[in-house]
Amino acid sequence: MNETCLISKEPIEHKITLPCEHSFEYYYLFHEIKEQKNRHLAYFKCPYCRKIYYSLIPYMDVEGVEKISHVNYYSRNILPLFACKQADCQEPAHCYKTGLSCRKHYTDPPKNKCMERCKNGNPCRFYALDGNYCAKHRKVE
């Protein structure tokens, strides 16, 4: 059975279920909460039943979603929807591409240096954004 998002009415690909048992596509719930937090920072409401939550949703590494304080990141008050995969850790987790981790156990993936050489002949000192090149050296096709 393919669940549909209660906000977009589209099939759910990245499911997040609030404690009130309503499920949403993470992307649409994130943007709904972001809009709600513009009006009142302390809480958000379930878009379906309007139950109030004085906490944040966990971050999920999904395209079009960024880490935003008081929406899905940088707070100790996160809804415990995911559990950290580290042994003996009871903290609520965020869902990264590398797996479920709390902020304490998450490590950023290593950054790649830009592969291009600068006009002076020295290797570029900036990090690559997409692929192998920084913003300055990115090839326009």
CA of residue 71 relative to chain centroid, distance: 10
* Termini Cα distance of the chain: 42
72-109 residue pLDDT tens: 987 778 999 998 888 888 888 888 888 888 878 887 77
109-139 residue pLDDT tens: 778 888 888 889 999 988 887 778 888 887 6
Domain for residue 47, yes or no? yes
- Strand-pairing partners, residue 69, are 73
Q: What pTM was computed for the model? A: 0.74
Residues 4 and 58 in one domain: yes
Close Cβ partners of 71 (under 8 Å, ≥ 6 residues apart): 30, 33, 34, 37, 56, 57
Domain for residue 32, yes or no? yes
Residues 69 and 6 in one domain: yes
